[in-house]
């Protein structure tokens, strides 16, 4: 088993929490893990990405080679497209459809969506709306992780355990809010994507 995942979004959207949750889950499964993150200047509202690699075998590079990613998980739609050169032919793109507009030349939303829909394997999900619906408005990142969970070779329960470990220090309420968001994202993906439901 080997999973190469690119996480993308805008600084402050919580991709590092997604990475940390998957990381904890991978550790629980005694898998090898390498996760390269972006710190520093870009965290101030710039484009950010994280390379996350999980494997039963020892992992060499901290960076995923071009064309080798199995999955892109993006909390922002335009950002999901920035990393397409990394996605393999068989890879899946799972993205939020709520844009984060902090630049004057942000493209027309319908054009962004049509680029996403050109891809053979994609799930587009309005994570912000789902997060609000389950009363976890600030957990759209966990909705996205839930939506991508059928494509991870990690038992779903381990992700919930991961959330408990990552957010445990912030109190039970925060843990539950994030788990609700995770569940809702997973449910959406399974209901709307036949392939996801088989996984």
Partner 1 sequence: MEKLLLLGAEAIAQGAIDGGMSGVYAYPGTPSTEITEYVQKNKTAIEKNIHRNWSANEKTAVEAALGMSYAGKRAMACMKHVGLNVAADAFINSAITGVNGGLVVAVADDPSMHSSQNEQDSRFYGKFSMIPMLEPSNQQEAYNMTYEGFELSEKLGVPVLIRFTTRLSHSRAGVQRKEIKNQNQLSYPKDPIQFVLLPFNARKRYNSLLGKQALMEEDAENSKHNIYYEGKDKSLGIIACGIAHNYLIENYPNRDCPYPILKIGQYPMPFSKIEKIVNECEEVLLLEDGYPFVEEQLRGFLNKSKKIKGRLDNTIPRAGELNPDHVAKALGKEVKAGLNIPSLVANRPPELCLGCAHRDVYNALNETMKEHGKQKVFSDIGCYTLGALPPWNAIHSCVDMGASITMAKGAADAGVHPSVAVIGDSTFTHSGMTALLDCVYENTSVTVIIADNATTAMTGGQASHATGRLEEICIGLGVKPEHVKVLTPLPKYHGEMVKILREELVYEGVSVIIPRRECIQTVTKSKKEKKVKTEEII
Minimum distance of partner 1 from residue 117's CB (angstroms) = 12
The answer to whether residue 38 forms part of the interface with partner 1 (CB under 8 A) is: yes
Q: Which is nearer to partner 1, 99 or 133 (CB)?
A: 99
Is residue 80 within 8 Å of residue 119, measured between CB atoms? no
Return d(Cα 162, Cα 158) in angstroms, integer.
Answer: 6
Site for partner 1 in 165-184 (CB under 8 A): 169-171, 173
Return d(Cα 150, Cα 144) in angstroms, integer.
Answer: 11
Q: Which is nearer to partner 1, 79 or 128 (CB)?
A: 79
Residues 6+ apart with CB under 8 A from 166: 17, 20, 21, 24
Which token pair is 34? 């390498």
> Sign (positive/negative) of CA torsion 110, 112, 114, 120?
negative
Minimum distance of partner 1 from residue 29's CB (angstroms) = 12
- Written in H, E and C, the secondary structure of 69-116 is EEEEEECCHHHHHHCHHHEEEEEEEEEECCCCCCCCCCCCHHHHHHHH
Which range touches partner 1 (CB under 8 A), out of 79-87, 138-146, 180-188, 189-197? 79-87
Query: Could you tell me how many residues make up the chain?
Result: 199
Q: Which of 11, 14, 150, 162 binds partner 1 (CB under 8 A)?
A: 11
C-alpha atoms less than 13 angstroms from C-alpha of 74 in its C-beta half-sphere? 29
Site for partner 1 in 117-146 (CB under 8 A): 119
Q: Which of 54, 71, 78, 184 binds partner 1 (CB under 8 A)?
A: 78
Q: Which of 56, 62, 191, 195 binds partner 1 (CB under 8 A)?
A: 62
Q: Which of 105, 117, 194, 198 binds partner 1 (CB under 8 A)?
A: 105
Where do contacts with partner 1 occur on this chain (CB under 8 A)? 10-11, 23-24, 27, 32-47, 51, 59-63, 65-67, 69, 78-79, 81-82, 84-89, 91, 102-103, 105-108, 111-112, 115, 119, 169-171, 173
């Amino acid at each position: 088993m080997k999973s190469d995942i690119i996480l993308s979004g805008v600084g402050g959207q919580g991709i590092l929490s997604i990475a940390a949750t998957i990381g904890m889950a991978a550790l629980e499964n005694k898998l090898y893990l390498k996760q390269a993150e972006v710190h520093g200047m870009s965290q101030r509202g710039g484009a950010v990405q994280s390379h996350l690699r999980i494997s039963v075998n020892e992992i060499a590079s901290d960076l995923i080679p071009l064309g080798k990613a199995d999955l892109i998980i993006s909390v922002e739609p335009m950002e999901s497209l920035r990393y397409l050169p990394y996605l393999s032919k068989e890879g899946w793109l799972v993205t939020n459809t709520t844009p984060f507009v902090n630049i004057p030349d942000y493209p027309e939303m319908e054009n962004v969506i049509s680029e996403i829909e050109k891809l053979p394997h994609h799930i587009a999900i309005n994570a912000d709306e789902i997060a609000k619906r389950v009363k976890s408005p600030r957990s759209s990142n966990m909705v996205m992780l839930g939506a991508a969970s059928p494509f991870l070779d990690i038992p779903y329960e381990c992700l919930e355990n991961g959330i408990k470990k990552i957010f445990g220090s912030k109190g039970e309420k925060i843990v539950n809010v994030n788990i609700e968001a995770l569940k809702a994202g997973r449910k959406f993906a399974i209901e709307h994507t036949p392939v996801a439901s088989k996984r």
